[in-house]
Structures are given as structure tokens and as C-alpha cells.
Amino acid sequence: MAGRTAPFSAFEWMIAWRYLRARRAEGGVSVMTWISVIGITLSVFALVAVMAVRAGFREEFVDTLLGANGHVTVYNWRLDDQGRRLRGFPDWQEVQARLAEVPGVTRVAPMVRGQAMVSSVGGSSGVEVFGMAPADVEAIPSLTGGGDDFGDISRLSEGIALGSGIARDLGLQVGDRLRLISPDGAKTAMGTSLRVMAYEVVYIFTSGSPEIDRTRAYLPLAEAQEYFNAEGVADEFEVMVASPEAIDTYVPALLAAGGTDAMAWTWQQSAGNYLRALTVEDNMMFILMSILVLIASLNIISGLVMLVKNKGRDIGILRTMGLTEGSVLRVFFLCGALTGLVGTVAGIALGSLFAHYFTPIFDFINWVAGGGLWDPEVRPIYHLSAKLQPGDVVTAGLLSLVLSFVVTIFPARRAARMNPVEALRYE
């Protein structure tokens, strides 16, 4: 039809921009606009910040878990000549070679594992002893890559490596000697005796997980085999793969290489409950923050209702001049949409800056609060971090924009349907 203008023409943008820049006499509208912008900015900032902190926590937890443990553990149960159920691989060298040939496997470490008690002049503590070849222990990232480690891991063949939590509790330092006590010692006619061995502490590690540092110790594989009566046997294999996120795809081939009695326990199974709990918390936090964004977006309605009320005369004049209902709707839609857009961009910018400078911000808040905001003794990681993921930023931005656009439609429709005669009746 003749005279019909294209949607969102230049004059519609001009009118919308003019209405957003209200005169001092119309300060109420301007104030409501600023309140809407600030509300959306803060809500989007909170959403981005929360998602970044949650992503950082999850990444730190998974990195700690994978840094100190294998991606999958291959083990078995077998029957001996007397029909007793035993655990371990007598032919562990051959099994190790077969596991190493599985595509995608980067490292295979045979291991003997057992429970014992560490005793020193500072007291005693129960530990889980991992017997591994020194070269395999050196290849564990979280045990040798931290700045809080002490000693020389290459000397593991001469002693024992302890977690920093054990060393702290027992007052041990590199060079001290301790006693390792196991109830499963030599078998005699009088029964099984205690096995007590003395070792020098050659290395103290900090893995990133307080739980591991309080409970784990490492011995050379040959020494652990002798200590736990497992000569010539490996209890299990710690397997590292190229893509730990797709660990389930490796399991069938690993089981085939491990033999008929082989079983597998993946890192996702060991931490499955915790990861599922994190997922539930992530979803709930996203929903709660989304409600906060919705509440902030509703402020746009208040601002637009006031704007429509104050601009009733202008609407009537524009309609009598030939402006269509669609043009009026688009003008006020642009007013609300621009408010939401500015608030969203500002919120994303603040959230991104917060995530980037999270560590100094958190340290400052911790200092102001007197310390203790993050207690690693009751949490699975030492440090809290933030990770800004592009997908989270896009999700937060789209959510805010969609909600802002949707709530803008209702007052914009009210303005478009205003009768110009009624609007000019008392003018």
C-alpha cells in the first residue's frame, strides 16, 4: 500500500531515542529508565558472575581429581589354587603391554595399593599407600607441578612420599624417618604378625585436594609388593587416556586387553555423585538467577507505562498525522528494547571483568572479612576460581534480551491501541 513505511524506519528510531532522553520536567520517566537499566545490569552481572564461579569450581575440582588419579582403573578378582578369591594380575607386565597398545591410551601405571598406619614422634595416622614405579609417580601432574612441594621425587626409590596434610599433622619434614605399620605382615604358626618398616621422607606433595593430601602416601612398586605380600603381582592399573571426557568409549577395549576377569572403574564413576550434585546446583542457580533477571526486566514495564501515560498527547498527534498502530508499537518497543540492551551489555561487561579479576577481588574480600571465607579443610579443593565460558555469556545475554523484549511488548501494544480522539479530548 502507498504510504506504508518499512518496520523500524529511521524516524521510529529517532522518536524512541527522543523519548528515552526525557526533559527535566519529565524526570520521572528518565528515573524509571535508569532504574530499569541498573536493575538489568546488576541481574545480568550476578548471572554471569555466578556461572563463571560455578564453572571455575567445577574445572578446579575435575582438574584436581584427574591430576592425582587415573582416568580409569583396571582391576580384577581371580581364584587361586585353593579357590580363594584374590585380587591382582600375576602377569602384570604382559597386561600392561596390552593396555598400552589400546588406541588413545597415553600412560599405564601398574600399582599395588593397601592400608597402613604412619607413626612418628608427632603421632600416628592412617594412610592409603600407593605402590608405583618412581617414573610413574613423577608423571602425575598434580604431585610434581605445584609450588608447595618439598624434596626430590626422583629419590622415591630411597624412601616414601607423603601428602602435605599427613606431614603437617605428624610434624614431618623431608629427611625425617617414619614407621609404616600394617596388620597384614608375615604369616607364622602363631598367626599373622604386624609388619613394621622404617622409611625416610624424601618428598612431600600438595596435590590440590585436601582429602588426598591427608590420606595418601607413595612407595616404590617393588617395595610395596614386598610390604603388602604381593610379590610379582600388580593389584591394578592406573590408565590415562587422551580424552578423559569420553572415557566410556575406552572401557570396552581396556577390558578386552585386561583379560577375562578384568573390570574397570572410571573417574566419572568415582566422582559421579559429586558431579551430579554440582550439575543440579548449577541448574538451580541458573534458574534462580534467571528469575532475578526477569524481575529486573519487569521494571521496563513500569517505565514504559509511565512513558505512555506522559506521551499520550504525543501519541494522539502522531496518530492523527498518519502514524500507524504498528509504528507506535515499534517506537515504544524500541524504548524498552534499548533499555534492556544497554543493561545487558553493561551487565556482561561487569560480569566479565569480575571473572577476570576474581582472584584479587576474592582475596580482598577475604582480607576485609578477616580470612576464613574459603576453608579447604571442609572443601574438596584448596582454591576457588572463576572461569568465563563464552557459552555462559551468550546464554546470559540472550536470556536477558529475550525477557526484556517480551515484557516490552505489553505496554507497547497498549500505546499502539490508544484512541487518538481520547488522547486529545482534553488538550
Q: Which residue segment(s) compose the domain that 16 sits in?
A: 10-63+274-424
Q: Convert the pLDDT of each residue in 108-165 to its tens digit.
A: 999 999 899 998 887 888 899 999 998 888 888 777 665 677 888 888 888 999 988 8
Instruction: Report yes or no on 375 lying in a domain.
Output: yes
pLDDT at residue number 187: 63
How many domains, in total, are found in the chain?
2
Whether residues 237 and 283 fall in one domain: no
Whether residues 55 and 109 fall in one domain: no
The last residue of a domain, from among 219, 241, 263 = 241
pLDDT at residue number 143: 76
Instruction: Report yes or no on 96 lying in a domain.
Output: no
Whether residues 283 and 413 fall in one domain: yes
The last residue of a domain, from among 226, 241, 256 = 241
Whether residues 293 and 407 fall in one domain: yes
Q: Convert the pLDDT of each residue in 76-97 to its tens digit.
A: 887 666 656 677 888 899 999 9
Q: Convert the pLDDT of each residue in 8-63 to its tens digit.
A: 666 667 777 776 665 544 444 567 778 888 888 999 999 999 999 888 888 887 77
Whether residues 211 and 350 fall in one domain: no
pTM score? 0.71
The last residue of a domain, from among 217, 241, 265 = 241
Map the chain to HEC letters: CCCCCCCCCHHHHHHHHHHHCCCHHHHHHHHHHHHHHHHHHHHHHHHHHHHHHHHHHHHHHHHHHHHHCCCEEEEEEEECCCCCEEECECCHHHHHHHHHCCCCEEEEEEEEEEEEEEEECCEEEEEEEEEECHHHHHCCHHHHCCCCCEECHHHHHHCEEEEHHHHHHHCCCCCCEEEEEECCCCEECCEECCEEEEEEEEEEECCCCHHHHHHEEEEEHHHHHHHCCCCCCECEEEEEECCHHHHHHCHHHHHHHHCCCEEEEEHHHHCHHHHHHHHHHHHHHHHHHHHHHHHHHHHHHHHHHHHHHHCHHHHHHHHHCCCCHHHHHHHHHHHHHHHHHHHHHHHHHHHHHHHHCHHHHHHHHHHHCCCCCCCHHHCCCCCCCCCCCHHHHHHHHHHHHHHHHHHHHHHHHHHHCCCHHHHHCCC
Whether residues 279 and 373 fall in one domain: yes
Instruction: Report yes or no on 95 lying in a domain.
Output: no
